[in-house]
Chains A and B, each alone.
Chain A
Amino acid sequence: EVQLMESGGGLVQPGRSLRLSCATSGFTFGDYAVSWFRQAPGKGLEWVGFIRTKPYGGTTEYAASVKGRFIISRDDNRSIASLHMSSLKSEDTAVYYCARGRIRITLAGAVVADASDIWGQGTVVTVSS
């Protein structure tokens, strides 16, 4: 069975850091991009960022709201992706989800992650003093 499972959420003070993990099983992890999304309480879905597969450099893209503060990484040997969050703000409070997606090269030549077909169950991050 294909599974993704987030962990590492919790209560953290503003300005501090937190690292989330996304453990996967049931598929060839190295063949897939991994995206992170979040959902603030009572709000809609927001894309946080994603990491490409190693053949595409394992490079990353981030939403403007987290760029420079969040870093996504991957360990293909352990089939795990991570989201390292620093300089946390109250507005980062949300349920964080990881999801897998296929690499797609768009007509414009961008290397993106297409549909997120399998998601983890989410982990709650609360930023508060």
Chain B
Amino acid sequence: DIQMTQSPSSLSASVGDRVIITCQASQDIGDYLNWYQQKPGKAPKLLINDASNLETGVPSRFSGSGYGTYFTLTISSLQAEDTATYYCQQYGNRPTFGQGTKVEIK
């Protein structure tokens, strides 16, 4: 199975900060990469599909980029409501998730 490695595992940043989460695949997955946000006790929410396509209704401060084995999720200006755990997921072959990045407000 394809391994997905996220970094960092957790971070603490101030409101208004730019936050970048990285996700590395163990082999080339093209753009078959999604990003999800999960808040405690809730189901995951799809933020970005196919590496860079923002889901309808998701704030424009979220963006995704990358292709092949290296991907990033960027929050351009962190807001209090962005406190959550973020997961990358490849779906090209037997879907797998990264281990998650917990984002907290400093």
Contact = CB atoms under 8 A, between A and B. Distances in A.
Interface of A: 35, 37, 44-47, 50, 61, 63-64, 97, 101, 104, 106-108, 110, 112-117, 119-122
Interface of B: 1, 30, 32, 34, 36, 38, 42-46, 49-50, 55, 87, 89, 91-100
Chain A interface mostly: strand
A112 B93 contact: yes
Nearest to B42: A121
Contact of A114 (B42, B91, B100): B91
A115 B50 contact: yes
Nearest to A44: B100
Given A44-B87, A64-B1, A119 B93 contact: no
Nearest to A121: B43
Nearest to A64: B1
Contacts of A121: 42-43
Given A44-B100, A47-B94, A117 B44 contact: no
Task: List the 8 shortest-distance A-B pairs measured between CB atoms, nearest first.
Answer: A115-B49, A119-B43, A47-B95, A45-B97, A115-B34, A44-B100, A117-B46, A44-B99
B88 to A, nearest CB: 10
B97 A44 contact: yes
Contacts of A119: 43-45
6 contacts: A108-B92, A108-B93, A113-B95, A115-B50, A115-B91, A117-B55
Nearest to B49: A115
Nearest to B98: A44
Given A44-B100, A45-B44, A63 B87 contact: no
